[in-house]
Copies of this chain bind each other. A is one copy, B any other.
Amino acid sequence: MTVRTSASVSTLDGDVSAFARTSADLLQRVRASEPLVQCITNAVVTGFTANVLLATGASPAMCDIPDEAGVLAGVAGGVLVNLGTPTAEQRQAALEAVEAATRTETPWVLDPVAVGVLPVRTELAARLRDAAPTIIRGNASEILALAGAGSGGKGVDSTDSAEDAADVARELATRTGAVVAVSGPIDLITDGARTVRVANGHVWLTAVTGGGCALGALMAAFASTTDDALAAAVAATLAHTVAAEDAAAVSTGPGSFAVALLDALHTLTPEQLEQRARLS
């Protein structure tokens, strides 16, 4: 275990090993409670996202039409709003779901896919950003663009590193009250005051569509089990990235990796999560 201190506003509030222990505990809670996770997400990754949730122990529901999305969000344990392919119905459904989640104090995750590049989602993302999401998750380019500090990446791929976005992420967290999670080779997760970095993972997560999108759904699942959204985001990231390491070890390419990731999430134990966490 190494503790990395940052020169800026963020220093770890105590010991990162506490995050590893808490992550193990939260994984147990997800398995025990099987939280209903209402996902409004893009057409590309919806099946994979549902399978990631099921493999981890959560119960996915992908209800993304008006007059239903809010109903389900109101009874769900957590909600994901992912803007990857935001049809008109999905945009309305997202607003309904966020309204219901806010009313019922249900944690919700905003994943502003390709924001900054594309106008329709950029406008919606700005509105959702200001609607008090529990967690905001994206790559560095998306976080920079959502914060108004960048112009977005190349479509869905980041052209910036997570560390490039560190200061902006903390500022965005402070401004919105959300935990901000920036994915990259080293994931950076901050609530403005505390910043945790997760060094687990594998490059094949970027060679499979929906790796990041599924992580957003896992964050909603873990957030259903605790009031500490930073701990939830760290735990979800650890589960995803430690499982990715296990999956890569038995795979011969990105196709078999995606399949093995589901198996690894299913068999991952809380003890493994704690022991193998590489946090700083």
A residues with a Cβ closer than 8 A to B are 36, 38, 42-48, 50-51, 54-55, 59-65, 67-68, 71-72, 75-76, 84-89, 114, 117-121, 154-157, 206-210, 251-256, 258-267
A125 → chain B closest CB, angstroms: 12
Say how many copies of this protein the assembly contains: 3
Contact status A54-B156, CB under 8 Å: no
Contact status A114-B266, CB under 8 Å: no
Contacts of A88 in B (CB 8 A): 65, 89
Contacts of A85 in B (CB 8 A): 62-65
User: With A42-B62, A266-B254 in contact, do A47 and B118 touch (Cβ < 8 Å)?
Assistant: no
Contacts of A253 in B (CB 8 A): 55, 262-267
Contacts of A206 in B (CB 8 A): 54
Q: Which residue of B lies closest to A89 (CB)?
A: B87
- What 10 pairs between A and B have smallest CB-CB spacing? A255-B262, A253-B263, A61-B155, A50-B209, A253-B266, A255-B259, A68-B118, A255-B263, A44-B46, A44-B62
Contact status B36-A71, CB under 8 Å: no
Contacts of A266 in B (CB 8 A): 207, 253-255
Contact status A260-B264, CB under 8 Å: no
User: With A253-B262, A255-B51 in contact, do A86 and B61 touch (Cβ < 8 Å)?
Assistant: no
Contact status A54-B254, CB under 8 Å: yes
Q: Which among B38, B43, B263 is the interface contact of A252 at CB below 8 angstroms?
A: B263
